[in-house]
Structures are given as structure tokens and as C-alpha cells.
Amino acid sequence: MAPLLPTLHDPSPIREYDRAQLQQLADEVRACVLDNVSRTGGHLSSNLGTVELTVALHHVFNTPHDRLVWDVGHQTYPHKILTGRRERMPTLRQQGGISGFPQRSESEYDTFGTAHSSTSISAALGMAMAAKQKGEDRHAVAIIGDGALTAGMAFEALNNAGVADCKLLVILNDNDMSISPPVGALNRYLAQLMSGNFYAAAKNVGKSVLRGAPPLFELAKRFEQHAKGMVVPATLFEQFGFNYVGPIDGHDLDSLVPTLENLKHLHGPQFLHVVTKKGQGYKLAEADPVAYHGPGKFDPSIGIVKPTTQPKQTFTQVFGQWLCDTAAQDGRLVGITPAMREGSGLVEFEQRFPDRYYDVGIAEQHAVTFAAGLACEGLKPVVAIYSTFLQRAYDQLIHDVAIQNLPVVFALDRAGLVGADGATHAGAYDIPFLRCIPNMSIACPADEAECRQLLTSAYEQNHPVAVRYPRGAGAGVTPHLTLDALPFGKGEVRRMGKGIVILAFGTLLYPALVAAEALDATVVNMRWAKPLDVALLNEMAKSHDAIVTLEEGAIMGGAGSAVLEALQVAGLQKPVLQLGLPDRFIEHGDPVKLLSGLGLDAAGIQASIEARFPVEATALS
């Protein structure tokens, strides 16, 4: 057969394909995903697992008129390939290239921008109800993974959707279990039967006939529930008001296509449960879907190869080691993660302290309030969470932790820019949104050694403290094995110059030191965004002509704003230049190039200072 994929520029021809062509297309899409991700890096296991489902959806539904809403969106590479972006796949997650997640600005087929979990049902319901209100005949389909279904927002949406009369289909992509062949064959038959018009009509007729005889009607309802319950876990979702169908094999087009066709013609909210396998079709990813979840570049014929040279220790690894060392000394410590064990560095902690490790699922709100409950009983919770994920628990942070002034440590990974994951995962806003909360403190370590020390400082406090640190490695300063703390709320002068003082918050200290050499400027490692070292700030303000603040976070409301506020309180008037992330979302790309483009590398810092303070800079050079 001639290749199909090179001839496709949009999904419309797929609707005319027969079953053999659909299977051929799925094979070609899987090969395309593997080839491109191995060259660019990105999410692999999840995308290999959704190939057949994606092909079937574009075959059955009239996209983009019918709306497909992908939860999280890290499994949409097949969708991108089929919707006119195959030739741009080599630019995946590269600066100026296509995103690793759905983006409305990128394609009309990306109906809703995602990257965080559990939003799909709410968004799809909104689209379905909008279509009904406008009198438009269209379907809305939410595709959500079993992990994302652990979040409360998903159940809030299910609760709302179950009473809505609209064309909504929720597909649960369950990739945490497998179907043996006999069960798969049986479920294929049952799914098609239950999604067919005959079953739906018979069920409704039977209920209407028996409605006049309440005991018989109740008996019929119970029989229906128990008969379906023997082969499918229908009860929960039907209680929400959905018609549940499945589970079916998500890699079997002979199951997927007729079932979707039948569901398309049913009224009211529908729920389809499909079972897929992460890494499907690539044996190495099937065997280790975690390792192949988000690999860098690799040779598909060989697989992921460990680097021959020992890579620099990452901030995440520093945190993981600190957590284990502190737990060994203090039995009150408990570690909490919202489904990010590997990403947040808790693998060893779980192995060594299983009774003190809590993975609460994708439930950031619950994670924070759960930590508050533990703290109320005298334990010392450490919540390991990405900066951008903590945004989802802001109310709990204020009401359940800060107002009660509970000693919870928040280890904020991925602070600042994150590179290929882009704006949705960048931790740009934690300093502004945390520093306005009473009782909260914020530590900004400049390197790996300080990260360990400031984590200890945070742990010693009797109030909530956040320690923010970036993705990957920093300057490469090896931490001490001791658990020594740094003074709370105190900074340090790292270089004494004259004229201009640079106040650095976090890892940008090191490019600031390089820029300061050329300018003969003073550099202060502030370490804390809250509380500020006001005594040191006032001393520097009185002895220098101008102040520069530097942070890998949003300028608006950030650490630089805190400096301006403190100067105003002290009655000190000095020209201040604030450097940091501008008031716009920073898209995906190489982190070094992104920082350079924003003027946050050594050359950019120097250029910005010289442009803002030309007289001082000239006099110093």
C-alpha cells in the first residue's frame, strides 16, 4: 500500500477511509511520533498510547466543527500530525516551533489550550452548552486520562455535566491497566451493544412500560445496574447522570470506530471508557513508560542511553537528598506530592520512608489542605510541588495554611523559565502571589549548596515558608552533607564595587557577578524575597548611587517591587532598575537562549544597566 500520511493535510479524508486504511494510518502516525520525538525530545509514552484513539476520533467526528478537548495535552502529537502540522513536527518544543501542548493560536483544531490536568470536561461542557444555546449541531468530546480524573475539578465538571442536556462525550483514557484478550473480545461486543440504538431504546421502553408498576420498575432498574456492573464499572459514572460504555481496547479500531459511531447518535451526556497502553508499539517504552514519558533526544534503535559522564546535580536531586537526610533526623517530617514523585525528586524518600510519603494524586488543593491537617497535629509537612502547580491551590494556601500560620514547607520546583514546556509550566508568578500573603516567607537560593541550606532554614521556622528553585542544574556548587541553616531573612554581599549595587534574588546571581566585573558594581545575594534584609538594603542604598534588582520571575509585584516598597518606607529615594520576566507569557525554547533574549544573561544585564545609567556606567568603566 502507498503511504497515506504524506497525502494528508487535514483530517477530512480520514472520514472516508476503510478499516484497513485506518490501521495503516495508525501505524504510520506511530512511526512519525517515534521518529520526531527521538530527534527533538518530548512526551513519548503517552503519545504512542493514543494513536488509534486519535485516528478513530478524526474518522468519526467532523473536526474541527466537532470539538476535541484533550486533557493535559501531552498526548496530542498524533492529533497535531493529523491536523496539518506533520511537516512542522521537527520544530516540536523548539523556539519558534510548535508547542508540545494544544494551543488555540496554533491551529483551529486545538479547540482549547491545555497543559495542566483535569480541565477538559469543564471546557468541553462549556462548548457543548454554547452550541446548544446558539442552536448549532456539534459534538464536544473531552479526552481525559485516569490520572487526571483524580482531581476534584474533573468531578465538579462531571457533577454539572450529568444534568446537562447537550452533545457531550467524555472519554476516559485508562492507561494504567490492561485487558486480556478474552475480556477484550467480550467487552467489544458489550460496548457496541450498549452504545447501539437498540439497547438504548429497549432500556427506555422497558422503563416506560414498567413505570406504572413501581416494584417492577425498581426491580428492572436494579437488574440493569447489576447486569452491567458484573462486567463494567458503570455505577459511579451513571450516578453522575452519564450513560457509561466500556471498558474497550483503545488500540482496537474494530472496537473504537463502531462504538464511537453509536455514541455519536445518542442523546445526553455519554461516557466511554477505553483502555490503552503507554508506549504502545515501541517495546522499550512499553517496558518502561516512566523513563520514556519525557525523554530527550535518543536513537530509537538503541533507546535511552545513560550519559557516560556524570551530569551535574540538579536542584531537584538536592531537594530529594535533603528530604531524606532531614527525615532521618526528624521523625515528624512527612513528604507530600500531587502525583509528581519522579518530577519532584521523591523516589528515594518513598523507598526509605514509605509510611511518611503521601502521593495524593493530581489534587493540588487537597495536597495543601492535607498538609495543613498534618501540621495541626504536630507533624512537619513538606509539600514538593511545581511553582506553576501551586497556583491551583492558592485559596488553600491562604485560608488553610497562612491564616492558621502552620509550619508547612513548600519546595517549589521549576521556578522561573522551564524551556521546552513553555508558558504553562513556567514558574513566573510565585514571588508576587506568595509575598502578599501574611505569615509567608520566600527563600531564593542562588545555587545547589544554598538550596540545601535554605531548605533547612525553612524547615526550622514555625510558619509557612516556600523555597523556590529552578529546573535542572545551577552553578554546580556542591552542597555540604550537613544540615546547616543559613540565617533567616539575611542576605550577603558577594562583591563590593561602587556606584551601582545589583540585588540578585536566586540563580541569576552568577550572571550578575560576571556583569558586575565589567561595571565594577556591588553584588548582593539577597537570598530572601520575604522577609527582605531591610538593614542590608538600606545600607546599600545609602552607599550607592543606583540600585538594580534581578530575579527570574515576574517583575510586576516581584522581589524588585518589594525593594521599592521597602525604600519608600525607609524614606530613601534612589533610581531603581528592575530586571526580570516581562509582562507577557514566555513561550517554549532553550532556557539559555530564552534568558539571553530577555536580557537576563551576563551580557544582557550589563547592557541594560549601561542603558539605564549611562553616566554611572561610563564613569566606572
Catalytically annotated residues: 278, 364, 392
Q: How many CB atoms lie within 10 A of CB 235?
A: 12
Phi-psi region of 417 (alpha: psi -120 to 50; beta: other; left: phi over 0): beta
The pairing of strands 270-275 and 333-337 is unpaired
Element containing residue 411 per DSSP (H, E): strand 409-413
* Residue 226 main-chain phi, psi, to 5 deg: -75, -35
Residues facing 501 on adjacent strands: 522, 547
User: Closest by alpha carbon to 58, among 110, 124, 10, 106?
Assistant: 10
Interstrand relation of 500-505 and 522-525 (parallel, antiparallel or unpaired): parallel
Dist CA 383 CA 412 (whole Å): 8
Residues 135 and 93: beta-carbon distance below 8 Å: no
CA–CA gap between residue 299 and residue 34 (Å, rounded): 10
Reading the block at residue 37, the C-alpha cell is: 520525538
Q: Which residue has the cell 517515534?
A: 34
**Cis bond upstream, residue 300 (ω within 30):** no
For residue 16, the tally of other CB atoms under 10 A from its CB is 8
Measured in residues, the chain has a length of 621
Q: Which residues contact 246 (CB under 8 A, 6 or more apart)?
A: 172, 187, 191, 232, 259, 271, 272, 273, 274, 275
The amino acid present at 247, given as its one-letter code, is P
Alpha-carbon distance 588 to 595, whole Å? 12
